[in-house]
Amino acid sequence: MIKIKNDYATHREYWKSKDYLKRLFGNNVDAKSAVVQNLLDTIDSIPESPVYTIAAYGSLLNTNDILRTMPTAENFRMGHIYGFTRIFNIGTLGKGCVLNIQYHPDTQKNVICNFIDISYEDLPEYILREGWYNVEVLEEDQYYDTWEDVNERNPVLTVVGDQHIVNQSIGIEPQLNYLHLCLTGMKEIGGWQGVRQFLEETLCFSKEARDYVSVKQWLLTTDMVDYMITNDYSKR
């Protein structure tokens, strides 16, 4: 289990200090810049806790990719978030789309996620890593955690794409190496059940259909040779 220090609440003041902001953003950091203020505002919107649980549905499905930015991460397990669907709709031309979630009217509709526990110390790094997204605190009826110790209910955080970024991504197909990263992570966390749900229920834009279709349908109708020539990932 994560070792808890007694001073986690005082870190909110430390995170506002010039020394800490220099560590995150470099010596020339502007404490009044939009990116710094967004970080601090997001931290203030999240309840104080020694440990947070992250409901991850994209690159953080892959446990090998987590420790790069969140070294305290542990206790990876499958969980569900309700009232959402997974969709590729965050991206830019030439770079492909990455994953987002969007609200669904059916509150029983669920997305299989990687539930990850992190210490409060990694909270700013998590927020910065998910810079295209808004961090949201889930209500208890919005998730199911398979962690057995229900008495240790940490705040459960997830991210929803900033609408400005989403609006720029219409017509862009998935980034293939990113899709592979997510699928290998999903197999590790959710097994073949998770992989099937991901392929059959995750939406992405198809240039052939000129609409959003399931990832499974997109893969079946996409000329992978042509796709790989057009989208060269060899240098990424």
Report pLDDT digits (tens) over 151-205: 567 899 999 988 777 766 778 888 888 888 899 999 999 999 999 999 999 999 9
What is the C-alpha to C-alpha distance for residues 160 and 114, in angstroms, rounded to an integer? Answer: 16
DSSP string spanning 73-142? -EEEEEEEEESEEEEEEEEETTTEEEEEEEE-S-TT-EEEEEEEEEEGGGHHHHHHHTTTEEEEEPPGGG
Same domain for 40 and 113? no
Number of domains observed in the structure of the chain:
2
Same domain for 107 and 36? no
Same domain for 55 and 90? yes
Same domain for 96 and 27? no
Same domain for 91 and 13? no
Instruction: Provide the pLDDT for residue 236.
Output: 44
Q: Map tokens 């996620």 to a residue.
A: 113
Contact call for residues 38 and 130 (beta carbons, < 8 A): no
Same domain for 27 and 104? no
Task: Kindly give, in sequence order, each residue whose CB lies less than 8 Å from that of residue 154, ignoring residues fewer than 6 positions away.
Answer: 49, 51, 52, 53, 117
Residue 26 in any domain: the answer is yes
Q: Map tokens 């810049």 to a residue.
A: 33
The CATH number that applies at residue 80 is: 3.10.490.10
What is the C-alpha to C-alpha distance for residues 214 and 1, in angstroms, rounded to an integer? Answer: 38
Instruction: Provide the pLDDT for residue 58.
Output: 93
Residue 1 in any domain: the answer is no
Same domain for 81 and 157? yes
pTM summary value: 0.87
Candidates 7, 11, 127; CA nearest to 69 is: 127
Kindly tell me if the per-residue pLDDT of 126 is higher than 90. yes
Same domain for 28 and 91? no
Residue 169 in any domain: the answer is yes
Q: SS3 for 156? A: strand
Instruction: Provide the pLDDT for residue 131.
Output: 83
Q: Which residue has the higher pLDDT, 139 or 163?
A: 139
Same domain for 32 and 105? no
- Whole domain around residue 32: which residue ranges? 7-45
Q: Where does the pLDDT of residue 4 fall: very low under 50, low under 70, confident under 90, or very high at 90 and above?
A: very low
Same domain for 128 and 28? no
